[in-house]
Structure 1
Amino acid sequence: MAVCLLFITLGVTAQNDKDKEVMAHADKAKAALLEKDPGLEKFFDSASGYVIFPTIGKGALVIGGAMGNGVVYENGNAIGMANIKKLSVGLQAGGQALTEVIFFETDEALEKFKEGNFEFAAQVSAVVADKGVSEDANYSDNVIVFAMPKAGLMADTSVGGQKFEYHPFK
């Protein structure tokens, strides 16, 4: 019982109000993803870890950018916060808000993310979360990304060039 109380106390003191807000949004985003495609449950259940970015804002007019904050989970438990930044140049226009979840199949892939040595190759793209899509989705290099548009219009599901920062709870 004392261990449980200690864990709860550490969890509460490790998060500021902004983190708590992002965590609440991540819970809602997970529920929305599972409602859209219940098959994602197998990834949430079996992955060594995952990151949920409840809202990533993207915008572009030749030069594009994206950013968002998320929650990092290991074995289903929140262990820290992350942020994502992306800058791109090319033929692009529009704006979009989306939810993105990155699943790590192995402990090694999750550790690479936590060490800050993680980035996607330019050709990697996200699987757009929709009913039944997860059935045929597979990991590539121990990682798979699902994205769910929230609002806006932008024909770009590339994830190449994304940079991440990880901040563990203390």
Structure 2
Amino acid sequence: MFNSKRAGLMGPLLGLLLLLPAPLLWADTRAVIDAGSAEALLKLRAHSTAAGELVDKASGVLVFPDVVKMGFGVGGEYGEGSLLVPGKPTSYFVTAGASFGLQVGVQTKAEVILFMTDEALKKFQNSAGWKVGVDGSVALVKLGADGSFDSQTVGESVVGFIFSNTGLMYNLTLEGSKITRIAR
């Protein structure tokens, strides 16, 4: 007997299963990740000089220059990046997450996470895997019309930016993203 509800779920699930090995095909080299991270930080500084000043004050900067989010009912995102301490790549990470709901298409964004204290940086570095919202929270920085930050957000020990080529993105979240160290 044909179950139309089950058949309706099979297409998106099959598509997602076909995408699972894709990150292995997209794996970047250290040089590619480092170049992308440097470019992403330049773009962030171009969007806001105040953001650049915050980057300079951070104990560590985790940069994911190209996070690709795609979905067809069921969605996922993946990106590789580097941890810069102080300003130099020390280790490499992957961010991944899943989402459910009405979504179709592909979106590319950059994510920058700033560890503003040595304690927050050490906690991240010593973790086997770090899930945003579980192992630590990241306060997303929102710019005012004049380019200034919300002073409460800037006072957090871990702050983050999400942006694209057109500027900082405010309606997104890092919540639920799993960040794991990778060998490069």
Does TM-score exceed 0.5, indicating one fold?
yes
Q: CA RMSD in A?
A: 3.0
Measure the CA separation in 2 of the matches of 1:130 and 1:18.
37
CA spacing shift, 1:28–1:129, aligned 2, 3 Å? farther
Q: CA deviation at 1:41?
A: 1.7
Note the residue ranges of structure 1 that are not aligned, 5 or more in a row. Answer: 1-16
2:160 is the alignment partner of 1:149: no
Q: Which stretch shifts more, 112-121 or 57-66?
A: 112-121
- Paired position in structure 2 for 1:78: 89
- Aligned counterpart for 2:128 among listed residues 116, 131, 142: 116
- Paired position in structure 1 for 2:149: 135
- Paired position in structure 2 for 1:160: 175
What number of residue pairs does the alignment pair up?
A: 151
Secondary structure, in 3 states, of the residue corresponding to 1:135? coil
Q: CA deviation at 1:131?
A: 7.4
Percent of aligned pairs with the same amino acid: 28
The answer to whether the 8 Å contact 1:52/1:102 transfers is yes
CA spacing shift, 1:108–1:59, aligned 2, 3 Å? same
> Partner amino acid for 1:148?
F
- Paired position in structure 2 for 1:69: 80
Deviation string 1:94-121 (CA, Å, 9 cap, x unpaired) is 3210011000111221122222342212
Deviation string 1:112-152 (CA, Å, 9 cap, x unpaired) is 2222342212896744679754532624751111011248x
| Structure with higher RCO (Cα < 8 A, 6+ apart) | 1
CA spacing shift, 1:39–1:46, aligned 2, 3 Å? same
CA spacing shift, 1:102–1:129, aligned 2, 3 Å? farther
Measure the CA separation in 1 of the matches of 2:99 and 2:147.
27
- Aligned counterpart for 2:63 among listed residues 37, 40, 52: 52
2:102 is the alignment partner of 1:102: no
Q: CA deviation at 1:25?
A: 1.1
The answer to whether the 8 Å contact 1:116/1:165 transfers is yes
* Structure whose CA Rg is larger: 2
CA spacing shift, 1:124–1:143, aligned 2, 3 Å? closer
TM-score by length of 2: 0.69
Measure the CA separation in 1 of the matches of 2:170 and 2:73.
13
Whichever structure has more strand as a proportion of its residues is 1
The answer to whether the 8 Å contact 1:126/1:146 transfers is yes
Measure the CA separation in 2 of the matches of 1:68 and 1:134.
28
The answer to whether the 8 Å contact 1:104/1:110 transfers is yes
